[in-house]
Amino acid sequence: MSLSTTTIQEGLALAARVHKKYKPVWEGREPSEAAALALYFLPHRSTKLELVPTRPRMIKWYCPFADQAEFPTGHRYCINVFTGCEHNCEYCYAKAYEPGHASCKKDFARAFRRDLEELEAYEVPAAPVHLSNSTDPFQHLEAESGQTRFALEQILRYRRHFTSVVILTKNPGLAAKPEYLELLQKLNELPAGHARRDIFAHQGLPGLRVEVSVAFWREDV
Ligand code: SF4
């Protein structure tokens, strides 16, 4: 399915207003790609002259602070599966949300599916996705809520819209459980027909990374 000419024009009209900080992500792209990025990430009804990628999303722009001229990362996705984080690390801004506590996001599944459907409908080019910038996707809450598992299953269904899947956790034990391990192994494969499959295979890049951060309070350790 391709975007209609009218939809591409609507997207390009939004893209023309994108703030200069994010412009490098739009520059040099085919009109349909530039329109798709604008339609997915930019607010549609804002009356501001300049737009930033703040459309409310569960699958959202990775870092809305980074200047793309200085840090040319391209568009990337971030999914914060929960609000807050039980680890309560001293150095982390997540403490400001719900100190030492995490909760499930309201209406997470519905909003998550809607975002995936729109990624597909707009044909947004594939990009890396990161779980999670301001919460631990494998903290204890996951064992009772299964929200991270749901998100990963949905990413697997829509795998062609993502390149690398990166999971950052302080609790890799959960990732090693069979029901998660099987899912992670499937996510590691870019499916047939994926736009970057050959490049990943040629460069030996993994489709999935689980990163484990280890915090110490003793420098010698
Ligand atoms: S585990 Fe990560 S998200 Fe959670 S408080 Fe620590 S640094 Fe922040």
User: pLDDT class for 119, splitting at 50, 70, 90?
Assistant: very high
- Of the listed ranges 28-42, 60-74, 183-197, the one predicted with least confidence: 60-74
| pLDDT tens by residue, 79-107 | 999 999 998 888 888 877 777 889 999 99
Whole-number pLDDT of residue 221 = 62
169 CA from centroid of ligand 1 (Å):
8
134 CA from centroid of ligand 1 (Å):
6
- Residue range 114-125: mean pLDDT, rounded: 97
Whole-number pLDDT of residue 91 = 84
CB atoms within 10 A of CB 159: 18
Tokens linked to 97: 């949300």
Whole-number pLDDT of residue 1 = 64
Calpha distance 127→150 (Å, rounded) = 20
Please report which helix (H) or strand (E) contains residue 203, including its range: helix 197-203
Query: Under a CB-based contact definition with an 8 Å cutoff, are residues 62 and 71 in contact?
Result: no
| pLDDT tens by residue, 172-211 | 999 899 999 999 999 999 999 999 999 999 999 999 999 9
Residue in 134, 210, 217 to alter for ligand 1 test, most ligand atoms within 8 A of Cβ: 134
Query: Under a CB-based contact definition with an 8 Å cutoff, are residues 41 and 74 in contact?
Result: no
Q: Where are the beta strands (DSSP E) in the chain?
A: 60-61, 77-78, 82-84, 102-104, 127-131, 162-169, 208-212
167 CA from centroid of ligand 1 (Å):
13
Whole-number pLDDT of residue 89 = 87
CA nearest 86: which of 74, 70, 69, 103? 103
Q: Rounded to the nearest 10 degrees, how much is the dihedral formed by the CA atoms of 136, 196, 180, 149?
A: 60
Arithmetic mean of pLDDT over the chain? 93
Beta-bridge partners for 104: 82
Residue in 170, 171, 214, 216 to alter for ligand 1 test, most ligand atoms within 8 A of Cβ: 170
Q: Rounded to the nearest 10 degrees, how much is the dihedral formed by the CA atoms of 88, 85, 133, 46?
A: -120
Residue in 80, 85, 91, 167 to alter for ligand 1 test, most ligand atoms within 8 A of Cβ: 85
- Ligand 1, atom 7: closest residue by C-alpha: 92
DSSP track, 77-118: EE---EEE-TT--TT-GGGGTSTT-EEEPTTHHHHHHHHHHH
Atom from ligand 1 closest to the CA of residue 170: 1
Whole-number pLDDT of residue 197 = 96
218: pLDDT strictly greater than 90: no
87 CA from centroid of ligand 1 (Å):
6
pTM of the predicted model, to two decimals?
0.93
